[in-house]
Structure 1
Amino acid sequence: MSSQYDIAETLDVKGASCPMPVVKTKGAIDDLAVGDVLEVVATDSGSMSDLDGWAAGTTGVELVNQEAGDDVYRHYVRKTE
């Protein structure tokens, strides 16, 4: 599956369960430049709601898309500030 985003970095959190996908995403996004998109690849179905809720309540990030397929969940988070 290809993405329409220019991915700055991919974070593999497969096998990790709540809250680790969010914790690791926050750490990775902190290291990116404003405007960069982080692709997060997870196997925890809860990551769909967890990352959505985290991004909605966090200043400086935007969840631009989520994709689910074949037990793998992809999240695209843009650093906005």
Structure 2
Amino acid sequence: MSADVTLEIDCRGLRCPMPVIELAKRIDEVEVGDLVGVVTHDAAARVDVPAWCRMKGQEYAGEDDADDGAPRFLVRRIV
């Protein structure tokens, strides 16, 4: 896990819409300004996570890879 990711949500094996539902349930676990990583192989997350951020007023901070190479979508809590 990257040093600047405060919370990593493991959604490997979960399909749409579960990664975004898990993100919504857990975003309040971090402080405003902290970074959350959603790790998932679900291809829909590439669209769903940025869309969720726009709808909820959070910042989509891009994509990188988890330690095992799985896609990780980054969200900075703004509100």
TM-score, length basis structure 2: 0.84
Q: 1:32 is matched with which residue?
A: 30
Q: Is there any run of 5+ residues in structure 1 with no aligned partner, and where? A: none
Q: Which amino acid aligns with 2:62?
A: N
| Cα RMSD (Å) | 2.1
CA shift at 1:67, angstroms?
Answer: 3.3
Q: Is there any run of 5+ residues in structure 2 with no aligned partner, and where? A: none
1:67 aligns with 2:67: no
Summarize deviations over 1:46-65 as a string: whole Å, max 9, x none.
11101111111112x11111
Instruction: For 1:1-80, list aligned pairs within 5 A.
Output: 3=2, 6-59=4-57, 61-67=58-64, 72-80=70-78
Larger relative helix fraction: 2
Identity of aligned residues (%): 31
Deviating 4+ runs (over 6 angstroms): none
Q: Distance in 2 between matches of 1:72 and 1:26?
A: 20
Larger relative strand fraction: 1
TM-score, length basis structure 1: 0.83
Q: Which amino acid aligns with 1:62?
A: E
May I ask how many residue pairs the two structures share in their alignment?
78
